[in-house]
Amino acid sequence: MIQHEMVAPPAPAATAAPLSSSIGSDACNTHSKAFQDVLIFTEMPKIKTSHVRYPEGWELIEPTLRELEAKMREAENNPNDGECEALWPIVCIAHQKSCYIYDLYHQRKEISKKLYEFCLDQSYADHNLIAKWKKFITNSLLA
């Protein structure tokens, strides 16, 4: 028969910390510090909230823009076979929205500059398309 001898573990030294916990905490602290540095120097993206302050005059143009947005959603949800012709209604509606806002501000002068810039910032109109129209009209008037 084999007898097992019980050996008591050696008494830990008062000054030495266990090897496994000191390595783990140093590594953890190193990684934690590196992660904190990344967070500090990385700019987090802005989160859009549903709370938007609409400028004065928004209530006058909102019904038309909402109607055009509904048409846009309908055109986007239309089943298509990947044909280019299927995208044409979407392009037309985007053009209509931009034309509507351009006309209200530049031609009829019925909306304020603040409302016009709000519409461009919120992507209710295509800024590049409007810039192209302004350039064309300016060049045609100078010619």
- Residue pLDDT, tens place only, 47-84: 666 688 999 999 999 999 999 999 999 998 887 766 77
Q: State pLDDT tens for residues 86-106.
A: 889 999 999 999 999 999 999
pLDDT bucket at 38, cuts 50 / 70 / 90? low
17 three-class SS? coil
Helices within 42-143 (DSSP H only): 58-77, 88-102, 113-121, 127-142
Mean of the per-residue pLDDT values of the chain: 79
